[in-house]
A and B are shown apart, each in its own frame.
Chain A
Amino acid sequence: MSRIDVNKTYKLFIGGAFPRSESGRVYEIKGANKKFIANPSLASRKDLRDAVVAAKAAQPGWANATAFNRGQILYRIAEIMEGRSQQFVDEICALEGVTNKVAKSQVEAAIDTWVWYSGWCDKLSSVSGSLNQVSGPFYNFTTPEPLGVVAIFAENKPSLLGVVRTLAPVLAGGNSAVLIASENYPLPAITLSEALATSDVPGGVVNILTGKSAELAPWVGSHMEIDGVDVAGLSKKQEEELKLVGADNLKRIFRFNPENHLERILSFMEQKTVWHPIGI
């Protein structure tokens, strides 16, 4: 008789802990081979509410850490993921039905994405900020600052890279995140949370929910404590509806091409300009 596996329970990731949905709901995820894999939590608007509370509380500490420190933590996530590569590969194969080779190259791309964004943390104001030559005896500088709490609807596929590609730039800019995983391929997002929980990421900086984007999107759109949204995983129609409601607190809402770019960091930052006289 072959050994019986100890199957994993997939819960939400909020405030550095792994609670179930307060609604008690779950939904079924089957693999590409139509076999049952798990019952991840079906997040409710109250879970979203709790996630935003955690994200809001954690954001100032994250923003006030040195950029060097943030870069170290993002690199650490890459280190931890590298050690768990096989776990991610197996999960992606089962879920997406792709070959080992394809899954492996997705995992490697995800790890390298953390490394790429890690290297940006302490270079943002060198590249995007400026000292402005105003005509007058004033020192005038512009520097990018974190926006606050950013909600992310991760790309639906690829299931792991679609999460990392949307999440990493948000963190690199000093924001905290509430990420809603792909509805049909949610599991790598939760496995990623396990890596985050062991990578010195302060609790609440990243929060990950699994569930139905159609159910959660309107609540994200109307939540006044959410400052920005990446709508990668939403349909065009859902995006438009979210933009309509989001206008109430002028959320910064974007859809990006599925690639790494400095602009993905800067879009979720604010540029602050400071004047100071020069004189004795």
Chain B
Amino acid sequence: MIIDGSEGSLKKFLSDLPPVDQVGAEARAAMLSTRSIKTTSKAWAIDMAISMVDLTTLEGADSFGKVKALCAKAVRPDPTDLAVPSVGAICVYNDMVKIARTELDAIGGRDIPVAAVATAFPSGRASRAVKELDTQDAINAGANEIDMVIDRGAFLSGRLGEVFEEIKIIKKLCGDKAHLKVILETGELVTYDNVRKASYLAMLAGADFIKTSTGKVAPAATAPVVLVMLEAVRDYFALTGNKIGVKPAGGIRTTKDAIKQLVLVNETAGPDWLNPSLFRIGASALLNDLLMQRMKLRTGHYASANYVTMD
């Protein structure tokens, strides 16, 4: 075992990790974003990105109608072109899980997982008991994936053992019913060193996926943050033989943004991570931009928003 479960050994392991140089990491991410992805590779990337989208609605105003419409979009993103792949998952608040699952099953989306945000998303400020109940509710309602948030207050004040424990407990509740994504909320962690440490902490505690953000705090999934997380899963795999997934969420609005993410994956963790079981993109508006770019490649001219559906 890398660590023996005690807070002391966890702290030692995390503080022994090599540091991240901010300027160097940002330069590497910037260089990778100059990759020019055209023609056949662009078409491949667009379809791959569509299949990786966790189509998301996490608003106070969410209603059954809104969620049902999202499900329809998830299954058939472009009703005029059935060759377009369906998305990677639907992501909703836990009281919308049942309606989402039912709707997806009814319209041919049985293969599309429903991810529920949990543990007092987005702030994570609630008691342990409330967070456990929050998670259990979602699982009972049929959630296939749980996107939990870590306790950033605990992390930043050095109570790493608590953060670790919480993830372990939620993972146990997931059992074999749901895979667990752990949201680090990198915008609140601020430094790349913290992102690296939090990534390892989450993976050691049992995360199946590490996720950048709730999408409610900026900055969210910037290229250098995703770079550092991809380096973490790459090195964790070398250390343990386990492949953990990465999900950037928040701020990825255009096809260009999405393709830059795929390039980061390709040249950091490697081609094995280029599939929806190891890489997802949390987004909502992105899907339509992907569809419009897909149309441009097919037809040769710039598309209009009139030709893609609103939800």
Whether A and B touch directly in their complex, counting CB atoms under 8 A apart, is answered as no
B→A interface (CB under 8 Å): none
A→B interface (CB under 8 Å): none
